[in-house]
Structure 1
Amino acid sequence: MRFNHINVFVLLWLFTACNNTVGVSDVRQSDVTIDRDTENTQSKATEPSLPTMEHLDPKAKVVLSVLGVMQDGGRPHLGCQKSCCAADSIQSDVDYRVVSLGLFDREHTKGFMIEATPDFVAQWRTFKGIFSEVTLNTLGGIFLTHAHIGHYLGLSFLGKEAYNAKSTPVYAMPRMTDFLKNNGPWSQLVTHENIELRPTKANDTVQLTKNLSIIPLVVPHRDEYSETVGYQIIGPEKSAVFIPDIDKWDRWDQSILCLIKLADYAFLDATFYDGQELPNRDMSSVPHPFIVESLELFDVLETSDRNKVYFIHFNHTNPVLDKDSEAAKRVKRAGFNIAKQGQLFSL
């Protein structure tokens, strides 16, 4: 779908229609069924190789890049003695970086990052390696989702002890903005003008360039220091939804099914595969939608809508990180995708 100003308004109207519709009555039952006993499906998801710039439409004006896919603690995880973090289980050619997206408007040579993770330096090098035109001095801004460690600690590298940035725009919701402004060491970034805080509002469109806009979506999560948002990302041709953290889909006053249908890509919280990953911890204290729960909820979606979903934000224990695991195979058999660092998407 090509997005002009009229289409953006239509999209916003449709997005409003997703509010307060947590149920599934608005989505027709899929013709594709999953046999939950055998986990066989008529929908077979292929696993394409990671796209490069050469594989993208040369006319694509906006490109989204996946800069990281992991939960805040990364992988290997501090203190983990399990096989998932053993040296022989970590692929030598894969960096398991914390979840982040990059956005680049090729027409206006403007770059943006979503999240400032502990892996910010490596992710910036990757971003710069893909889009050589972007520089830290001309970075259009960094969007933050919330105040948990994997999502904002990377701002520290913009301080005088490191890069000593000059007024890098940081987009954040009101509580997140106040948190950064009133608590060190983040407040020093503000007083030294390393960052320029740009408050955002829920459901308000932030127009970044003629080709690119972002809408914050408030979601329920553990909001100790800030509210939590996901983002709707609107390019000139396609749109994406990014929700790396949410408690449970049924605790939200919006329909994730509706948002998936409206978007072209949906990067969604998949922290845990099921409730068995942390046997020594109360899983209710760290609520997230288990992948198995999402598979059941998303069962009503058409194959074309399932193919839009890219699970992301994986805990180090999540078995889907092993592409040969039964968990990963089940996700792909059902028609969904597992996000991979390095993927590129045209918007």
Structure 2
Amino acid sequence: MRIRVLGAAAGGGFPQWNCNCPNCDGLRKGSIRAQARTQSSIAVSGDNEHWVLFNASPDVLQQLRSFPELQPGRALRDTAIAAIVLIDAQIDHTTGLYMLREHRQPWPVWCTPGVREDLSVGNPLFGVLGHYAGIDWHEVPLAGAFSIERATGLGFEALSLTSNAPPYSPHRDRPQPGDNIGVSLINTKNGKRVFYAPGLGEMEPHVWAAMERADCVLVDGTLWTDDEMIRLGASQKTSRAMGHLPQSGAGGMLEWLDRLPATTRKVLIHINNTNPILDEDSPQRASLNAHGIEVAFDGMEIEL
């Protein structure tokens, strides 16, 4: 099983277009050691021929250009993307579907019924795409395994995460199972597993069980502290209120990752532009290194 990180940043990317936080300003001026990142998305393959795209970010065209294997060039119009799985209905995970409208047949899109509702009613993206390639919807079950046609050598298991629906959702502030999911990606040939959850706001027992079973966890690295955005004056919401477990502090992601076996590979993804771990010389980054935790970057590859 091969995983390609197409985008490792949270919504807005890094640097964010309108942000002058120390990270964004430092990257533009070259005063910090850091790498630019596009918005969160991964591609997964079990045969190096057919790929499943997880989330379609607003940066999807740039991401596809950076990974030529997704354009095998077997015909005049072609793609190696066999299906698209949507983790949630957020703008930074779905807007890229507009950019893929020239597909020659309806896109096989996997998501929960709640996400389908959000993208049909609150933000009628699916309806708009019906005037172009269209959507061939498949339900992501929240219990048990599921398979995706042409995703040879791969298995999938989804679970619901505690989160909130987007602001345009008919059930905003009335959370429902399936608003946000985590997915275990399974190599059916050797049983190796990766747990992928770019938005993880609470460590529930079933989530922890999935992480304990995984050989690699690719999980929420949005913010370093719970009050990071408030202290910078960028928001009035805490990390947890936005549905993201902070890395530091009591009950933070670092504490949980430290409890995993030493053999488990630990990678943070969906990193907000304000997070000091983006500065490769920061004490926060040094702390991650000491804990054996990696920071995802665009182009990163994981093989199991």
- TM-score, normalised relative to structure 1: 0.73
The Cα of 1:320 is off from its aligned counterpart by 0.7
Residue identity opposite 2:10 in structure 1: Q
Corresponding position of 1:248: 202
Is 1:200 the counterpart of 2:167? The answer is: no
* 1:136-158 per-position Cα deviation (integer Å, ceiling 9, x unaligned): 54521010011111111111112
Q: Does 1:125 pair with 2:65?
A: yes
The one of 256, 263, 285 equivalent to 1:304 is 263
Higher mean alpha-carbon deviation, 190-199 vs 226-235, is at 190-199
Cα distance between partner residues in 2 of 1:111 and 1:133 = 15
Equivalent-residue separation in structure 2 for 1:95 and 1:262 (angstroms)? 32
Partner of residue 139, structure 1: 81
Alignment of 1:176-325 (within 5 A): 176-182=115-121, 183-190=123-130, 192-208=132-148, 209-224=151-166, 225=169, 227-235=179-187, 236-237=189-190, 238-249=192-203, 252-256=204-208, 258-278=209-229, 279=231, 280=233, 281-283=236-238, 285-292=241-248, 293-305=252-264, 308-325=265-282
Q: Which runs of 5+ in 2 are unaligned?
A: 170-177
Deviations 1:75-99 (A, max 9, x none): 2224312221111148899441111
Q: Tell me whether 1:155 sits opposite 2:97 in the alignment.
A: yes
| Counterpart residue number, 1:38 | none
- C-alpha displacement at 1:104, in angstroms? 2.1
Q: How many residues align?
A: 277
Give the aligned residue type for 1:190. G
Residue-by-residue CA offset, 1:53-74 (whole Å, 9 max, x unaligned): xxxxxxxxx3111111101121
Aligned to 1:303, the other structure's residue is in SS state coil
Q: What is the rounded CA distance, in whole Å, between the counterparts of 2:163 and 2:78 in structure 1?
A: 31
Does the CA contact (< 8 Å) of 1:104 and 1:131 recur in 2?
A: no
Deviations 1:34-56 (A, max 9, x none): xxxxxxxxxxxxxxxxxxxxxxx
Aligned pair partner of 2:47 in 106, 112, 117:
106
Report the Cα offset of residue 277 of structure 1.
Answer: 1.9
RMSD value, Cα? 2.5
On the 8 A contact 2:194/2:218 being kept in 1, the answer is: yes
Higher RCO by CA contacts (8 Å cutoff, separation 6 or greater): 1
Task: Classify 1:143/1:275 alpha carbon distance in 2 versus 1 (closer, same or farther; 3 Å).
Answer: same
Partner of 1:335: 292
Give, in angstroms, the shift of residue 215 of structure 1.
1.6
Give the TM-score of the pair, scaled to structure 2. 0.82
Aligned residue type for 2:242: V
1:317/1:199 Cα in 2 relative to 1: closer, same or farther (>3 Å)?
same
Contact persistence 1:319–1:325 (CA under 8 A)? yes
Relative to structure 1, the CA distance from residue 200 to residue 136 in structure 2 (aligned partners, 3 Å threshold; closer, same or farther) is farther
Residues 83, 205 of structure 1: alpha-carbon distance in 2 compared, 3 angstrom cutoff: same
Distance 1:194 1:287 in 2: 30
Gaps of 5+ in 1: 1-61
> In 2 relative to 1, CA 184–92 (structure 1 residues): closer, same or farther, beyond 3 Å?
farther
- Listed as ranges, the matches of 1:15-54 within 5 Å are none
Structure 1 residues 138 and 267: CA distance shift in structure 2, 3 A: closer
